[in-house]
Structure 1
Amino acid sequence: MGGVSAAALLSGSAFAEKKYDDGATDTEIKIGNTFAYSGPASAYGVIGKGIDGYWKMVNDQGGINGRKVKFITLDDGYNPAKTVEAVRQLVEQDKVFCTFNILGTPPNTAVHKYLNHKKVPQLYVATGASKWGDPKHFPWTMGYQPDYNTEGQIYAKHILASIKDAKIAILMQNDDFGKDYVDGFKKGLGGETNRIAKIASYEVTDPTVESQIIQLKDTGANVFFNVATPKFAAQAIRKAADIGWKPAQYMTNVSASVAAVLKPAGFDNAQGIITAAYLKDPTDKRWADDAELKVWRDWMTKYMPGANQADANYVYAYSVSFLMHETLKRCGDALTRANLMKQASSFKKFRVPCLLPGITINTSPTDFYPIQSVQLEKFKGETWDLFGEVMSAEST
């Protein structure tokens, strides 16, 4: 028997021994993140609130394998220096088991090396930068949403296929978020990058992007690619309309919320904008009787009372939390950080509620991109309208 006692064998503990790293006990799993509850990206703050509401529901239902989730979320104002301070606090003082869905490319970049050095999982980050899928160099970091590079390629290919004599103007946030999209976009254009008439960049600390939109219109471009976070994306759409510029408009998925971007921009100004989707939009009538969104609406009503159910950021919060919930559940009683990453990297065609039909979660030890498919949609009336087929990185 190799030294294992008969009592241990009878109890099963020889095979199902409980194992814990920091942040996990018999009764609790502690996870943390930072979010922009203030500052230039504060429109995303609702995601952090939604995640908090999700864990409240989980705890009300008895927790995960009998353990309650303690979720600690700190405001970093989308400021990387504050992210560093807050994440150090989460790891060194609060002793969280892992970080989950930290928001933003610059904030995640600021703690990327630190978390990997400490071997603390940086899971399902709230950014689609392509660097989050690099298990060889950063085995403790994994993204969630489709990566910006692939999304950029899909827009470029759609423009080449559908717009005659395309002359393209780009508004770009001047950081890794913006650069990733533009790099993918150029890749998608292939030998036709000379179609880009101008790229105007802005800093997240800028008050407006109005002067950039005037410069872009002056190029005579007939296509506008809006690579901006919600506040600036809405400003850009509104300004283009104010100055009578009517290009074909493409906008990144991260700013596709009807409540946070399109409504403030003005529905009349947003007609015909194209974006890429991977989640069901709560304003789209086709999902009016959808079973998954009905469950989501019931959850919203109970755990997010008074919140705007037209804000797709809450759908994102629910879906990414569902995946984290499942990942923790699969760990069983082996709540070690290594096992958490092992579970995160072994999903096969896993269905997360509110993803578009045909899109599933797939990961492996060498593939840290959980979602690699999107479908294009066009803004029509007061909602998005899906068109075409589900496309993946391979099919671009």
Structure 2
Amino acid sequence: MKTNRRTFVGGGAAALLTGSTVAVAQKKYDDGASDTEIKIGNTNPYSGPASAYAAIGKTIDTYFKSVNEAGGINGRKIRFISLDDGYVPSKTVEIVRQLVEQDKIFALFQPLGTPCNTAIHKYMNTKKVPQLFVATGASKWGDPKNFPWTMGYQPDYHTEAVIYAKHILANIKDAKIGVLHQNDDYGRDYLGGFKEGLGKEVGRIVKIVTFEATDPTVDSQIIQLKDSGANVFFNVSGPKAAAQGIRKAADIGWKPVHYLNNVSVSVAAVMKPAGFDNAQGIITASYLMDATDKQWQANDEMKTWSAWMDKWMPGANKADANHIYAYGVSYLMTEALKRCGNELTRANLMKQAAGFRKFRVPLLLPGITVSTSPTDFYPIQAVQLQRFKGETWELFGEVMHAESS
């Protein structure tokens, strides 16, 4: 059950008249929060194999600067401290300890990567510091009973993979499936969901090959998949490896029905480097509008975002979906902080994050909203399939909702 949140007027303390006595609402602060500032930490791979995601950290930083220019959150400015972990879990541990123990952050927001978040998962919960709206869709981030200080954001990988599997079974006759996945928790989460979705048809997987995040290419893996006789390709890769895989498949004349995980849908970071001709027909699941899709040009949310980009990030490539992703999740974080009012405790932040009901975050696809509860830490549980055509994605079918945990 949700409790009613306290409302504060004009960012100041709410006064309650009781006879001739005025009671002033008590301000409450944990480390990282004060009358003037809220200190938010973040880790992001600004260098290394996952550096295509640097756009997320840069956009979040810029978003909070725009919030500060507009007066901050309930009169407080956001101090955003984002550090480069290079997508190396041991480095994530090192800098998160610095953020928590030295910088005294109020919360860790949008730390990126499944292996990196896994490395700090128990630490953050032991320290009781929010690890909030993490930038990974691993299903483990929705476990409030055992990890009450960690919450995901995007649709979870397991559910996404189930949807691909069911689409393959319904639409591809005599499917022989080859799977490429990153050799870590992120890749295994997708594989587990995919196998579950195939059910008794799991034997249709004829080949599974893996790669390390630090591998220079996935060329040899693509050759192995072609040689297996697979006519369906399930590609579980980050942006760099995804683009390589698409390009290599075309180079060797392998033309399977290609399913690509949602984390690599960026037209600018993946499809264009892979070659638009090579990317035709690829299928993925999405929950966000795409700036390259002309159907959204007249959409008010897209126009607002585009104007914001023109003002705040004029040199950025709007075709990079990471900018839209980061803008939306920053909007959600800002709202959660607003709802805390003057009770800026970490426990209250988690309470507010767990209290959204069908909340509209800008640039989510129509019909998709954010809902959470004290027992449901999966904010977004719906996707729609799309197919790459020309130089953009084309949505098809209906919005599909995952069952709430």
TM-score for the superposition, normalised by structure 2: 0.95
Tell me the equivalent position of 1:56.
65
Distance in structure 2 (CA, Å) of the matches to 1:216 and 1:12: 70
What does residue 230 of structure 1 align with? 239
Match of 1:252 in 2: 261
Say if 2:43 is the partner of 1:12. no
Structure 2 CA distance for aligned equivalents of residues 355 and 152 of structure 1: 20
Deviations 1:280-319 (A, max 9, x none): 0010010011100111111111111200011110000000
Query: 1:11/1:30 Cα in 2 relative to 1: closer, same or farther (>3 Å)?
Result: farther
CA displacement, residues 48-89 of structure 1 (integer Å, 9 cap, x when unaligned): 000001001100100000000000000000000000011001
- 2:191 maps to which residue? 182
RMSD of aligned residue pairs (Cα, Å): 1.3
Residues 65-214 of structure 1 aligned to structure 2 (within 5 Å): 65-214=74-223
* Residue pair 2:17, 2:23 contacting (<8 A) in 1 also: no
Aligned AA for 1:173? Answer: Q
Q: 1:362 aligns with which of 371, 389, 392?
A: 371
Residues of 2 paired with 1:358 and 1:187: CA distance? 26
2:353 partner letter = A
One-letter identity of the residue aligned with 2:52: A
Question: Are 1:264 and 2:264 counterparts?
Answer: no
Alignment partner of 2:324: what SS? helix
SS in 2 for 1:12: strand
Question: Alpha-carbon deviations, 1:73-107, whole Å to 9, x = none?
Answer: 00000000000011001101110000000000000
Tell whether 2:333 aligns with 1:324.
Answer: yes
- Alignment CA distance shift 1:47-1:364 (3 Å): same
1:9, CA displacement in angstroms? Answer: 7.7
Structure 2 residue runs of 5 or longer lacking an equivalent are: 1-15
SS in 2 for 1:171: strand
Structure 1 11/249 Cα, relative in aligned 2: closer, same or farther at 3 Å? same
Please state how far the C-alpha of 1:11 moved relative to its aligned partner: 3.9
Q: Unaligned regions of 5+ residues in structure 1, if any?
A: none
Once the two structures are overlaid, the 10-residue window that deviates more, 386-395 or 110-119, is 386-395
For the residue of structure 2 that corresponds to 1:62, the secondary structure is: coil
DSSP-derived class of the 1:361 partner: coil
Total equivalences in the alignment: 389
CA contact (8 A) 2:39 2:81 kept: yes
Conservation of the 8 A alpha-carbon contact between 2:286 and 2:384: yes
TM-score scaled by length of structure 1: 0.97
